[in-house]
Amino acid sequence: MAHKTIVEDNIDILVVGSGLGGSGAAWEARFWGQNKKIVIAEKANIDRSGAVAQGLYAINCYMGTRWGENNPEDHVRYARIDLMGLVREDLLFDMARHVDSTVHQFEEWGLPIMKDPKTGRYLREGRWQIMIHGESYKPIVAEAAKKSADKVFNRICVTHLLMDESKENRVAGAVGFNVRTGHYHVFKSKTVICGAGGASNIFKPRSVGEGSGRTWYAPWSSASAYGLMIEAGAKMTQMENRIVLARFKDGYGPVGAYFLHLKTYTQNGLGEEYESKWFPELQKMVGKEYLDPEASHLTHRPIPTCLRNHALISEVNAGRGPIHMVTMQAFQDPHLEEVGWENFLGMTIGQAVLWASTDVDPKNENPELTTSEPYVMGSHATCSGAWCSGPEDVSPPEYFWGYNRMTTIEGLFGAGDAVGGTPHAFSSGSFTEGRLAAKAACQYIDDGKGENIVVSEAQIDRRKKEIFKPLEHYKTYRNAIVAGDVNPHYINPRQGLDRLQKLMDEYCGGVTVGYMTNEKLLNIALKKLKVMEEDLESLAAKDIHELLRAWELKHRHRAAECVTQHTLFRKETRWPGYYYRGDAMKVDDANWHVLTVSRRDPATGEYTMEKAPCYHLVDDK
């Protein structure tokens, strides 16, 4: 198969991955760079791509400052305690002080946001959440991105970033292939804003067959944000901070509206409240600073989500499962029943399918909850991602190197899952981060920082060979066997994904081992990941669709390696309920009240780990 090379040159701002973060970047970039060339490269179709493809029923990050509801610093306090103290407060504060303008713009564009009939304000689901009819959230946001971009390239799987050859550690664009035509695409650009996704499917899922598609985070969130940036040598932070979700069993339907708006609650298989009885023991593990139920009760300071997970997991392990969500009371109210259902139809239709198929009507029966397999991402209630600069007026020197949301690679910016240290951004915060990155990227270009970039034909050709190698490999060895997928010369992407998930599950704290790991296990994981990397050179793709899966797997593998390195580095159990270091079962604030930062040397593949100081901008009030 001949793969035509298509070059898009002289780009000022290349957006890689146009979910909520990338779309925010493309949209805002046009204002600050009205004559600049803005191009989007997206793996799917931007009308339905990214984590919000299916829709959302809530916007989980809205301050309501104009109504006197919350100030940005209140949100920093909330996200900080939820993440057990470790976040980038400068980035969080910055996102929170801008996010309301994003949400109000969404309403101006036509997104139906529910209103409180008494006050006329947005209808609150919880302190930070507002309720929307968000079936078309993504098409509306995509429309905005399309209005700003010069060109949108749908169905381009971006595999690598291009690097400048005249100045070290400066980005020069990206390359990838079209998943329909098989053409090779080269994007030469002064800046790149990485809006690619976090990682589903790097840990073995609970489901065993078809249902493994019903991941909590979208199956197309293929860790490309991390695969692209780690591979290019960007520093990463808090990659160990994977998240485990307590959700409705099997369908992974969301619980936020149920807890906050419908006031449903959980109980064990005997019909008892179970959470609080685990807290005294847990307090010994994490310290009173992080778990103080009395103070939480008095001040509405939330109990960290991971600790509530820990109680759920412990109760099930004690033999008192299943855990139920008590819906039977709330669902007697027809309005609340409608909210409960529309919540699923708006963002997790699979849960409605599951209840219909199993005859579960939450009006008559309390549905089961469970904890999911782990996910690695940076926009929901966790904060893995690249180590980025903050804004000039807020960030301390260690957090500031010239341009807001720029990674440690010059000209490479991030938004959404790509940026580390900013949990609880969700959809609106990710879009806002994209806007912030876009303004900074325009400034970077206007300052002349993107001039005289050199990309040699050699670099372009080398990547081309690398990208299409799995197709060649298949062609070469396919006829060594009669038929089928068992071949001594290669593995296919599904076989590779199964191997990755199994080893991450068993050695890096997945669901089948109760989220438990330790130094010995993690070192075995690294060894197996290294061997797997060799085998990924023998990955075979029988068609372009499998080539897409092959590159998703390579990105997932690289992200998994980085997660394992970070988990090994942090010798404590900071987030019980997300994972446990069996050889260091306590929170160790004396040594680990820090952010972990890694860098993989692209030349050698060696990781350097360091501790970065955790600055507190906001007091504890």
Positions 316 through 355 that interact with another protein (CB under 8 A): 338, 341-342, 345-346, 349-350, 352-354
Give CA–CA dist 450/171, Å, rounded.
9
For 338-347, b/e burial (b = at least 16 CB within 10 A) is ebbebbbebb
Give me the residue label for tokens 């713009």. Answer: 105
Which positions from 436 to 455 touch another protein by CB under 8 A, shown as an x/- string?
x--x---x--x---------
According to CB under 8 A, which one of 16, 20, 40, 111 is a site residue for another protein? 111
C-alpha dist (Å) from residue 556 to 144, 373, 536, 544, 551: 30, 15, 12, 18, 9
- Residue 117 contacts another protein per CB under 8 A: no
Query: What are 544's two structure tokens?
Result: 């372009």
Site for another protein in 475-534 (CB under 8 A): none
Number of residues near another protein (by CB under 8 A): 103
- Residue 402 contacts another protein per CB under 8 A: no
Query: What are 238's two structure tokens?
Result: 């808090």
Query: What are 126's two structure tokens?
Result: 């919880």
Beta carbon of residue 297, minimum distance to another protein (angstroms, whole number): 26
- Residue 358 contacts another protein per CB under 8 A: yes
**DSSP, residue by residue, 55-117:** -EEEE-----GGGTS--HHHHHHHHHHHTTT-S-HHHHHHHHHHHHHHHHHHHHHT--B-B-T
- Residue 213 contacts another protein per CB under 8 A: yes
C-alpha dist (Å) from residue 508 to 116, 309, 500, 571, 577: 45, 18, 11, 14, 14
According to CB under 8 A, which one of 295, 318, 356, 531 is a site residue for another protein? 356
Beta carbon of residue 95, minimum distance to another protein (angstroms, whole number): 11
Question: What is the C-alpha end-to-end distance of the chain, expressed in Å?
Answer: 64
According to CB under 8 A, which one of 548, 560, 563, 597 is a site residue for another protein? 548
Q: Which C-beta is closer to another protein: that of 44 or that of 504?
A: 44
Beta carbon of residue 219, minimum distance to another protein (angstroms, whole number): 5
According to CB under 8 A, which one of 44, 202, 455, 471 is a site residue for another protein? 44
Q: Which C-beta is closer to another protein: that of 19 or that of 385?
A: 19
Query: What are 486's two structure tokens?
Result: 């068992």
Give CA–CA dist 576/115, Å, rounded.
37
According to CB under 8 A, which one of 3, 48, 320, 502 is a site residue for another protein? 48
Site for another protein in 236-265 (CB under 8 A): 250
Query: What are the backbone angles phi and psi of residue 79, rounded to the nearest 5°?
Result: -65, -35
Segment near another protein (CB under 8 A); pick from 101-109, 235-243, 456-464, 479-487: 101-109
Beta carbon of residue 439, minimum distance to another protein (angstroms, whole number): 6
Site for another protein in 588-617 (CB under 8 A): 590-594, 611-617
Site for another protein in 170-209 (CB under 8 A): 179, 207-209
Q: Which C-beta is closer to another protein: that of 110 or that of 602?
A: 110
- CA contacts within 13 A on the Cβ side of 585: 9
- Residue 45 contacts another protein per CB under 8 A: yes
Give CA–CA dist 489/479, Å, rounded.
11
Beta carbon of residue 340, minimum distance to another protein (angstroms, whole number): 11
Q: Which C-beta is closer to another protein: that of 14 or that of 282?
A: 14
Give CA–CA dist 369/245, Å, rounded.
10
- Residue 105 contacts another protein per CB under 8 A: yes
